[in-house]
Amino acid sequence: MIYLMLLPILFPILMGISLLVRKEMKNRPALLITTGVSLIITALLGLLAIILARGEMLLLFNLTATLPIIFKIDNMGMVFAGMTMIVFVCAGFFSFEYMKHEQKEKRYYGYYLIVFGILMALCFAGNIITFYLFFEILTLSSMPLVLHNGSREAVMAGLKYLFYSLCGAYMALFGLYFLNKYGNTLSFSEGGVINAELAAGNIQLLLAVAFVMILGFSVKAGMFPMHAWLPAAHPVAPAPASAVLSAVIVKAGVLGIVRVVYYLFGASFLRGTWVQTAWMILTLITVFMGSMLAYREPVLKKRLAYSTVSQVSYILFGLSVMDAGSVTGGVLHVICHAFIKAALFLCAGAIIYKTGKTRVDELRGIGKEMPLLLWCYTIVSLGLIGIPPTGGFVSKWYLAVGALESGMPGFSWVGPVVLLISALLTAGYLLPVTIHGFFPGADYDYQKLQKKEPNSFMTVPVLILTVLSVLVGLFPNVLINFIQQFVTKIV
């Protein structure tokens, strides 16, 4: 049973490689069937691995005598794996219609499946060496999704993504040397692995190392000051690729930070230090800055990209507070944001596909042409703002309450205030699409209206993600209780 955890990693990677090496498939239905079946089988294999191999540790091989490649499914990995599987399946099926107007579909689906497998490997990684190895591979395998249309803008965005991601990864690599020297092990352990005797006299050095690693992994998560790749990459990538970039791939950076802070250094080692203070300041700057830039951005996909910069730092803020409530809210927001942001990017993709419109000021009356899609957009937008009964309200409630109860001088009230201001800005950049979409005004030419609702390949994934974002808000206790079980052990 222990080898089951390799199947959701190897299967999509092998299927993706097989698509890339095969000659161009003239039979498009065969390509879609192959991809769709691969996505479903991968999700089922992932679920099976979680059920049957949870808690087991698999030593695959040794890079060197002291650097093993280990896989282990723990509770934190389960949360990220479940979110990854749902979003990848939904965005994958959405692609079947959307990618009709894009070239080189076979290449797109090949890399899409490979990235799916790599992300599952990150979720199941049992030590920092395994995590780092697949973190680097994730950058290389996901870059073709950004480059897909081959335009100059796409190439420049892809190169920026590569440069920023590699710089961040090397910062994380820098920390591995010190962890190997001052840690009891490189495997993830609740509460951390730092050896107190070895660390004595080197506390400040280790704090600097921890901060560098946090910054390194935060590049993928889009935290200031290394966030610029994200708004450059999202607008040029195909919409379903933007959905997984924003909803899932940036969370690889979040997972890396979680592993560094709570499973390697330990919250008790970092709590109350300058590392925590500096990290919290950067997250709050990013929350406000991302919301403000999104509010001022006229291009819809770029607006959503800046929104991701802000919303992912909600998660990082919750993690940086190092309070059980705030960390619970941060982990819950990983899930809520994934469903919401994937749905928003897919809505944007459907609008672009059916109308060719990319700017917010062009979407006047879109609700009359695509009412179902805009209702989904509106519901998940309310979730991102943090309005009940959506999951976004619950996660942000825990984030705010956790900060207030932390008792940290200044941050216990500055944090919730910044989150509230960001929520108002979020309403300011998302809801005008709904308002002008459903109420275009008396001077609007209603005679030009045509129903442009997308087909089921586009509509059903958006509906699923919308329903999930609401269900998490209506029935949050199951997820919250599960998250709290392991959060209380690591905080």
| pLDDT single digits (tens) 363-402 | 888 888 889 999 999 999 999 999 999 999 999 999 999 9
Q: Which residues form the domain of 318? A: 284-491
What pLDDT does residue 446 have?
A: 65
Highest mean pLDDT among 67-71, 462-466, 485-489: 462-466
In a domain, 486, yes or no: yes
Instruction: Report which of 289, 277, 382, 295 is spatially closest to residue 340, judged by C-alpha positions.
Output: 382
What is the pLDDT at residue 25?
Answer: 66
Q: What pLDDT, in 10s, does the model give residues 327-341?
A: 999 999 999 999 999
Q: Note whether residue 183 is domain-resident.
A: no
Q: Is residue 230 part of a domain?
A: no
pTM, full prediction: 0.94
Specify the pLDDT at position 439: 87
Residue 33 domain flag? no
pLDDT of the residue at 91:
95
Region 69-76: mean pLDDT is 94
Element (H, E) at 72: strand 67-72
**Confidence class of residue 232 from pLDDT cuts 50, 70 and 90?**
confident
| Average pLDDT taken over every residue of the chain | 91
Can you tell me the distance from the alpha carbon of 356 to that of 480, in angstroms, rounded to the nearest whole number?
41
- Structural domain includes residue 115: no
Cα torsion 133, 139, 142, 143: sign? negative
Q: CA-CA distance, 352 to 183, in Å (whole number)?
A: 51
185/205: higher pLDDT: 205
Q: Is residue 110 part of a domain?
A: no
Asked whether residue 207 carries a pLDDT value surpassing 70, the answer given is yes
Total domains present in the chain: 1
Any domain includes 50: no
Largest pairwise CA distance in the chain = 78
From 327-336, 412-421, 439-448, the region with the lowest mean pLDDT: 439-448
Looking at residue 58, the DSSP 8-state letter turns out to be E
Position 1 in a domain: no
Under the banding of pLDDT at 50, 70 and 90, the label for residue 454 is confident
d(Cα 399, Cα 401) in Å, to the nearest integer? 6
Looking at the predicted structure, is the pLDDT value of residue 275 above 90? yes
Dihedral over Cα of 445, 449, 454, 456: its sign: positive
d(CA 78, CA 394): 20
